[in-house]
Chain A
């Protein structure tokens, strides 16, 4: 078992229940694959440094977990299938999992406000 960290970007137009379903789905996939999920961190919607799949913004989710090496291949395969995940990256944490302050975006406040507006629709 090794400690990994997967960060993925959900399509910005997926909000509310649809978004929660995606977060739960990938958490469930990890649990099905007998991975020990340490943390699921939702960063919220923020601006991307460059457009991805023609989207200028995206919703970041960070998952830290302990898993065997072959779990990564399966998780990434499923992420590729899911069209709502526009980008993902898995990193091996060599020193194990350490609690760090979540990286707050410079425009976090503005982003959150907009997200609420979209929820109300």
Chain B
């Protein structure tokens, strides 16, 4: 989110698109990352079933690693899709 017209003011008050920054798991310690809780994991999976990268999800490195491991486990046991291509009838 860089605006070339105003490079000299990093914390400009008129930021038009505010995206939530920071890791949501660091902010809320009660949130658990578990491969069985697909409702949490769905948030970190694109429509195609890909894992959302850290620069977009905003996760810290530790939690992104845990999310990735959890998604892969969930995929293994058919809770999450590997891809949207093999949709069942």
Contacts from A to B (Cβ < 8 Å): 7, 9, 47-52, 56, 58, 62, 87-89, 91, 100, 102-103
A-B contact count (CB 8 A): 45
Residues of A within 8 A of B77 (CB): 7, 9, 87-89
Task: Tally chain B residues at the interface, Cβ within 8 Å.
Answer: 20
Partner of A49 from B34, B39, B78 at Cβ < 8 Å:
B78
Instruction: State whether B78 touches A87 (Cβ < 8 A).
Output: yes
Question: Is B86 close to A, CB under 8 A?
Answer: yes
27 contacts between A and B (CB under 8 A): A7-B36, A7-B77, A47-B88, A49-B75, A49-B78, A49-B79, A49-B81, A49-B82, A50-B82, A50-B86, A50-B88, A51-B86, A52-B78, A56-B89, A58-B78, A87-B77, A87-B78, A88-B77, A89-B76, A91-B35, A91-B73, A100-B32, A100-B36, A100-B37, A102-B36, A103-B36, A103-B38
In angstroms, Cα B36 to Cα A62, docked, is 10
Instruction: State whether B80 touches A49 (Cβ < 8 A).
Output: yes
* SS class, residues of chain B in contact with chain A: loop
Q: Which of A52, A91, A102 has the most CB of B within 10 A?
A: A91
